[in-house]
Every structure is written in C-alpha cells, then in structure tokens.
Structure 1
Amino acid sequence: MKNALDHAALERAVQDVHHAGMPGLFAEVRDGDQVWRGAAGFADLATGSPVTPDMRHRVGSITKTFTAAAVLQQVESRRIALDAPIGRYLPEHAPAGGRGEAITVRMLLNHTSGLAEYLPYAYPSLKGYPVLSETGPSSLDEHRFTRFDPIELIEKGVNAPAVGAPGTTPGVYSNTNYLLLVRLLEEVTGSTAERYITRCVIERAGLRETELPSGPYVNGPHSRLYEAWSGMIDPPRDYSVYDMSWVGPSASLISTASDLNRFYGMLLAGQIVSPSSLVEMQRTVPVVSQEGKTIDYGLGLHPMTAPGQGTFWGHGGTVWGGGTLAMTRADGTRQMAVAVNLQRWNGLDSSGRPEPHPIDEALAHLYRLAMYG
C-alpha cells in the first residue's frame, strides 16, 4: 500500500527532530485502521522525564477550528448569517467609520476583515510583532498571571489602525477576528463561548482529554513549554504555567494528538457541522500568516497539498513555548497530529530574518512522512 504506515521510519523521524535540537515532541499518525504513536526527547529538561505520546498540550490556534465549527452550527440554526455585517450582532464592538457594516462574519472567520492584531497593544514589549527583531520578550513574564478582559482586548484590536479594507485579499491573520467571534457566540447562544464550545463541539466529538482552561495550569500529564524568542531568551524559559486569557477561546485549547485526530476526522466526515457548512469552511482565500507567508485559508481551516497525494485540511497553533500541527486528508483516511515543546528556535540574521535551523528540515521531513508516507 503506497501510504501504509512505516513505523520504523516515523520513529526515526521524531528522533531526528529531537536530535536537531527540539527538547521533546510527540505525535500520532493514522492511516485507516492503522495507528502509530511516538515520542522523543524530554518533557522536563530539569528532571529528564520523557515525553509520551498521550500527553496533554496547549494547541494554540488549532482552537480556531473549534470556534469556527461552533459559529457554523449557529449559522445552520439561522441565528447567524455568514455574510451579515458584524455590526448587526455586536453594535457596541463594531469598528467605527462604517466598517462595522462592511465587515461580515465570514470576513472574521477567514481573516479578511482588515482588523489589526491586538497582541502588540496588550504586550508592550511586542510592539513590533510579528517582526521578532523589533520585539522583546519581557512582557511574556510580566503577564504570566494577568487575567485579561476580552472586551478590552477586542477594543485594542478594533481601535488599532486597520491593516486593510474589509474583504480585501490577501487578508491578514489576526486574533482580533476570533475574539469577536467568541463574543458573537456568547451574544447569540446566551452562554459563555467556553461552555457552548465544550458542549456542542468538544463533547459532541467525544473528546475526553480536550478542554478550554479556566486557569493557568495544564491538568494531567503534560510537557514543559520552552520559549526561546529567537535567541532572546537563552536558555529557553518554561511557560507551561500561563494564564491563557490573552487569547481565550481563539487559541487556548488543551488537547492530545489522539483527540485532535479524532476531531478533524469527524469534522471532515460532516459529523460536527453539516456537509454544506464544511463546504463553506473549505472555501479559501489568500491570507498573510503571522510568519509573513501567504497561505490559503478557509473558515478556521487551511489546506496542505502535495502532487498526487490529495489535499489535507487542518490547522497549526503556537503558544509561548509550544507548537502543534494537525492535518487530515480530505477523505479522512490519513491523519497526523504533532506537538513540540520549543518555539521560536531560529536565531535572527543581521537583517532580522529567521536563520535556518536543523529543526526546520527535520520537522518538514516528519510532516511529509506522516502525511504522505
């Protein structure tokens, strides 16, 4: 079978990522009824405890697929219209100057609203974000236990200079969009977004190790999360204990590799949202990512393709110190979820651009092997 799981090759690939400089990583790959789970390296550099494939992990913006699915469920219930202006639902949070009537729910979901990222305004040392050479990591420590008010974060993003006109492509990836969607969910459901997403997405998918946290700790077995901030934090510092109210239900989810594969498999099978909603989620536009790359982006989903291998759908996510990528082939037959416990490992060259690092090539090889065999 062309894409059958090669357990030995996958094991070598995760070990290669560790030997390239990643403290620890773990993964699950599925092909039909076949399942491979593997891990390499350390969950805690101080104690030497190993990572294991079943560990819980902060999965960052993978949360956006869960939030988008919750919004699409409300579209199916006719409480939300995808192409209705956000000002219709949230007049008190809508941008001024007529943009509240120009920005639609769809534009929030696919990052074409033109709304700026609030993060540099909430974290003063990140003023130049996402250009890391123009930032510093001091705010990460200052806000480790800060309990942010999501309304204040929304206001910072809405009132910041726009990064584009509503509906213009390429769009620009912005967490402000998804904080507004969280507020929209609360407005139309009469529930907190955390409670609604838990009941109607997480529990609907039968995910037993997935939750939106209410405090700064990760419950259950998990890894430390080491942040290097492109060499500005040396040695990398552990940020596994962190109040995630700075992103809330746009990027705070805790999950496992197994739960993520289960979720994306069910989503692409039309078991979380309807097939017609899934079609909308897979309708893509060009969007500039936080890394400055232009990618195709749908409604909380983005594709990855390789010639002759079909299209995979999923999402990536980062938090301070942690990263995750989960992708599932469109027909649901092949799945991958990979979690790593170091972020921003690349140093910066004299012009401020990330320098190549052996981890990059090793991770890319693992992703190719996991998805395409």
Structure 2
Amino acid sequence: MYLALLLPAVLQCSAIGALPADDQPAALKRALEDLAAPTAIYVTGAGVARPFGAAAGLADPHTGRALTPNTPMRIASNTKTFTAATVLRLWEQGRIDLDAPVAPMLDPALVALLRADGYAVDKITVRQLLSHSAGLYDHGADSRYVEAALARPERVLERADQVRMATVWGDPAGAPGERFLYSDTGYVLLGDLIERLTGEPLAAAVRRELRLGERGLGATWWEIAEPPPGGAEPRARQFLGEVDATDIHASFDLYGGGGLVMSPRDLAVFMADLFEGRVFDRPETLEVMLARGAHEGADQYRIGMLVKEAEGREIYHHSGFWGTAAYYDRETRRSVAVATTRQQTFRTEARPLGESVLGVATPPCG
C-alpha cells in the first residue's frame, strides 16, 4: 500500500507521456495495476497515432465484473463542460446573449428564491453563471448536502430544491462579476435556462446541440432522462470512502452541474472533438469558451473549463465529484480521461496518473 501511494509521484517524475509512443500503453497498464483503487484511463486526440486505454480493478466488487475504459460512471461536474458547450452552441446560433441578465430567462420561481436571499438577479449575466463569477453560494460544496444524500439516498430532489438549499444555507458571496467562486447552483440555473430557451428537456437539448448521437459514444447518457445505449456496459459502482454510493438517487446531481453517465473512453473522445473543431460550427466559439474573464480568479476557470499551466503549456481540464477528470493539451493535441471508483484516491492516484500521460511533471517528486 505504501508503495502504491508513492507511485503517482514517481510516475510524475518520469511521466508516461514522455516515453516513446509505443511504450506508453504498456507503461500505463503496469501503473494502473499498481494502484490501490480501480481506475481506467483512455487516451486519444489528433496527436495520438493510435488511441489507447487501460484499466485495472473491479467495476463491481459484488459480481467480480472488471473495470474497462468503456465502463460508464457518473461523471458529476464533468457535465458542466457539456452544459457550457450547449449554451455556446445556442450563442453561435444567435439565440442567446452571453452578457444579458439571466432573470428574464429563468423560471420565475427560481428568480424569486434568489431575490429573497439578496441576490442582484437582474445584474447576473449568462457569462457570469458560465464562469462561476455570479457570486452564488454553492449548495453542492456544503457538507450538509452530501450528509443528507447519504442519510436518505432514495430522496428525489428537484431543481428548485437545490436552489432553495443554496439560499437557506448561504448568502451571496460577492457582487456579480466580482470574483471566481465555483458554484453548482449556477449550473443548475443554466440547465433551467437551456430548457426554457429550447423548449426541450435538458438531456434532449444537450444531445441535439452537441450531436452526441453522431460521435460514436456508446456509453453515454443522461441518467434517468435517457435510457443507456444498447450494448453499454452496466454502470460501475462508485464509493465515498467505504460507503457504496452507487444507488444515491440521480437527482442528487442531475440538472446541469452534473447528470451525465459516461465512460472514460467517451469522455476523452468528446474532449478531443471539442478542441479539434468538431463540436462548434465556428472556430471562434471555442476561443470564447477559453477566453479569460476580467473578474478576480479568472485565471483558474474559463467557461465550463478549468485551466492550469504546466511545463510551459496550458492544460484545459475538468473533474467530477465521484473521481473523474478529462484533459486536453492543445500543444500535443492529446486528450486524456481518467476515472476511479473510489473518490478518496482521486487526488492521490487517478489524477496524478492521468496528468503523467500528458507528460506533465508536477513537483514535488519523491
């Protein structure tokens, strides 16, 4: 176990992505087999001659079913990239103004909840929701949220329940456009905005606007709202510590901040499609997505996408609550997605290994 915990740091010192291309699949497989938790990775993109993936461990410890790069999992906040891209697709069609106030576009009941808690809803813009700069409290980060889900995993939540929790548990955290403050609540509002603007359920609007059915994503669906694709593997069991959280009702994270079930393979393929010009109609739309805002903390998060500088490159990425992450390196044109079934090992094992496939060495190295 001690060696396994040290391994990600060692891998970062001699990153898998720095090895000759023919050696990387075998090195990845060996590294995965030494990790403590079941983990899967898939690598693709225009800079990869032959896409490859690997996995180790069990997707379901009850049945002994093995984890694979095609095993679907709840991807939680990785969904935000899809929600943001859908809004940008509507923007490039001229159907929405990113700098318009959101109040007229939202369910009046949600607006009333926010106003009653002191939010300047008439000043909050679409772009601010997308970039987490609207000053919204994050219901999802409140410890009471997960505690309530574990206590009553069968509870069905509505979008209004989540917005109400944000207003009861917290208050406005700054003026609109002032600073970056990550908020699931903001993306729940964006989900409502998409539904009202398109007249479709969120899942249907995202699938249509992003053309998910045309991308060969055989293990991707919006939980509850869509059936799993025919032939998809069963969803992996996912854990919070030693608690099997697989059967927490999907409405825990369903309305735009989360909601998608995907395999690492599908997630990496979509990231490559997004950055290589196969999602938006115009190249400049991606640049709008990646443009740095004027608010404090805008260096961390753009529109539906985190960014980090490593080895002199900008790496775009997003992660999800259950232990998933997706990356794209525009310099090497490499897309990587990683997922683990054990959330507590994500930061110590899964994420460092995923970044090592990009060739990123993050000190300190042991």
With the length of structure 1 as denominator, give the TM-score of the two structures.
0.79
Contiguous gaps of at least 5 residues in structure 2 = 1-16, 361-366
- Percent identity over paired residues: 28
Asked if residue 12 in structure 1 is aligned to residue 23 in structure 2, the reply is no
Asked if residue 243 in structure 1 is aligned to residue 246 in structure 2, the reply is no
- The residue aligned with 2:300 is 296
**Other structure's SS at 2:39 match:** strand
Query: 1:361 and 1:153, CA in 2 relative to 1: closer, same or farther beyond 3 A?
Result: closer
Q: Equivalent residues in 2 for 1:116-155 (5 A)?
A: 116-119=137-140, 126-127=143-144, 138-155=147-164
CA RMSD of aligned residues (A): 2.7
In 2, Cα distance between the equivalents of 1:256 and 1:68?
20
Asked if residue 316 in structure 1 is aligned to residue 329 in structure 2, the reply is no
Asked if residue 270 in structure 1 is aligned to residue 284 in structure 2, the reply is no
Q: Equivalent residues in 2 for 1:1-373 (5 A)?
A: 4-5=20-21, 6-16=24-34, 18=35, 21-22=36-37, 24-30=38-44, 31-90=47-106, 92=108, 93-94=110-111, 95-96=114-115, 97=118, 99-119=120-140, 126-127=143-144, 138-158=147-167, 160-169=170-179, 171-201=180-210, 202-214=212-224, 220-228=233-241, 236-248=242-254, 249-273=256-280, 274-285=282-293, 296-308=300-312, 310-318=313-321, 322-331=322-331, 333-344=333-344, 360-372=347-359
What whole-Å deviation, never above 9, does each CA across 1:264-321 have from its counterpart, x for those lacking one? 1111122212322211110235788xxxxx971011011233224x322231111xxx
Q: More helix per residue: 1 or 2?
A: 2
Query: 1:295 and 1:13, CA in 2 relative to 1: closer, same or farther beyond 3 A?
Result: farther
What whole-Å deviation, never above 9, does each CA across 1:184-236 have from its counterpart, x for those lacking one? 111111111111112222225442321101179977333211111xxxxxxx0
In 2, Cα distance between the equivalents of 1:119 and 1:267?
27
- The residue aligned with 2:9 is none
Whether contact under 8 Å (2:70, 2:233) holds in the other structure is no
Length, aligned pairs only:
327
Query: 1:69 and 1:238, CA in 2 relative to 1: closer, same or farther beyond 3 A?
Result: same
Structure of greater relative contact order (alpha carbons < 8 Å, 6+ residues apart): 2
TM-aligned CA deviation for residue 143 of structure 1? 3.1
**Other structure's SS at 2:336 match:** strand
The one-letter amino acid of 1:77's match is Q
**Other structure's SS at 2:358 match:** helix
Query: 1:221 and 1:247, CA in 2 relative to 1: closer, same or farther beyond 3 A?
Result: closer
Query: 1:48 and 1:2, CA in 2 relative to 1: closer, same or farther beyond 3 A?
Result: closer
What whole-Å deviation, never above 9, does each CA across 1:148-199 have from its counterpart, x for those lacking one? 1112322332564112221112x11111100110111111111111111122
With the length of structure 2 as denominator, give the TM-score of the two structures.
0.81
Query: 1:300 and 1:90, CA in 2 relative to 1: closer, same or farther beyond 3 A?
Result: same
What whole-Å deviation, never above 9, does each CA across 1:131-153 have from its counterpart, x for those lacking one? xxxxxx65233332222111232
Moved >6 Å (runs of 4+)? 215-219
**Other structure's SS at 1:327 match:** strand
- The residue aligned with 1:353 is none
Q: More strand per residue: 1 or 2?
A: 1
In 2, Cα distance between the equivalents of 1:167 and 1:243?
33
The one-letter amino acid of 1:183's match is D
- Name whichever of 71-80 and 92-101 sits farther off: 92-101
In 1, Cα distance between the equivalents of 2:271 and 2:305?
10
- The residue aligned with 1:349 is none
In 1, Cα distance between the equivalents of 2:147 and 2:136?
26
